[in-house]
Amino acid sequence: VSTQSTGKAESTMASFSEMLSRPRRNRKSPIIREGLRETFLTPAHFVLPLFIHDKEGNVPVTSLPGRSRLSLAGMMEEVEGAIADGVHMIEVFPATDDALKTAMAEESYNPEGLVQRAIRMLKGKWPQLVVVTDVALDPYNADGHDGLVDENGVILNDETIEILCKQAVSHAEAGADIIAPSDMMDGRVAAIRRALDTQGFSDVSILSYTAKYASALYGPFREALDSAPREGGEKPIPPHKRSYQMDPANRREALRECALDESEGADFMMVKPAVPYLDVIMALREHSSIPIAAYHVSGEYSMIKAASLNGWIDERSVVLEQLMSIRRAGADLIFTYFARDAARWLAEDAAKSSFQARF
């Protein structure tokens, strides 16, 4: 080795020896890493979405491996398992029979409707279970939109809100703990708050879908509920929901929606989808003290499942990493179809001692 080469090596080593800040020192052992962990994920952060139908038996959803449309009996069995896993919050979504779908979505506020009966069953057996209900018209609307559609294909805002208020009150009467309007109509949070308070339900919370984007990731969900916009009838029907759901290009607009929902009395605010919109979750967290929820949607679930079933990724590791990233961005609650799996994986991890790990 030449004297010149040796000199360069010694010079490089000398510069390293003068390095005062070495972040790796804080990552050198499992115990230190555990002690310095900034973000935590527990089953208490999860809400389990469930698809239900008014038929016998459970029907698997092809695009959501492991998920099914549940009968009411199947719903009760699934919730019992979720409670055992430590998941104590659920949201129900109905797959409504086509015969009950109308242009005015009257079935949405039927006191003997599927959702209303499901709420009574759940709260009758588990009073302490937190039941969240979706408030929107697409499961009941013959046109497949979250709002009423006029003869020109325009989604009617104020007329829709009148129906949403009836729907919300019917859910509260059945025993719902949290009403979650996902429709994205302007002014619906204030209107629903007034309707609930007027009927004596001031303790029922509102979780507003504040920043619900017109995403391409909702396909499996719409298959599960058969709730996509329906074209081909007597009137023109928009094939998408971009006139009321948000443009994926926009973040500042979410802050405007955030300010409005907060002023109208929302108790929680939702960002949907989750992982592609971590910046939006973080922006809402920085601009509001109201709890933030994020919906890890059907397309996010299906992509992980498909890659896992093909052996391309490790499902457990990817799911927990994504859920942790949602929490790190600022979400307090996460709606996820992985809720039960993640709860079990976290319990398994909690049983392991970092003291026993070598690296």
Q: Which residues are catalytic?
A: 212, 272
CA angle 317, 279, 332 (to 5 degrees): 65
Helical packing angle, 339-350 and 72-85, nearest 10°:
20
Q: How far apart are CA 216 and CA 258, in angstroms?
A: 23
Following DSSP, what letter does each residue of 137-159 receive, concatenated?
Answer: STTTBTT-SSSEE-TTSPEEHHH
Q: Is 52 left (phi over 0), alpha (psi -120 to 50) or beta?
A: beta
Amino acid type, 301: Y
Percentages (nearest 5) of helix, strand, coil residues in the chain? 45, 15, 35
Question: In sequence order, which ranges of the chain are alpha helices (DSSP H)?
Answer: 3-17, 30-35, 72-85, 114-125, 157-174, 188-198, 219-225, 252-264, 278-287, 298-309, 315-329, 339-350
* Prior bond of 49 cis (ω within 30°): no
Largest CA distance in the chain: 90
Closest to 294 (Cα-Cα) out of 81, 49, 37: 49
Tokens of 300: 């996010």
Q: Is 322 left (phi over 0), alpha (psi -120 to 50) or beta?
A: alpha
Contact at 8 Å (CB) between 269 and 292?
Answer: yes
Q: How far apart are CA 5 and CA 189, in angstroms?
A: 72
Q: How far apart are CA 213 and CA 297, in angstroms?
A: 11
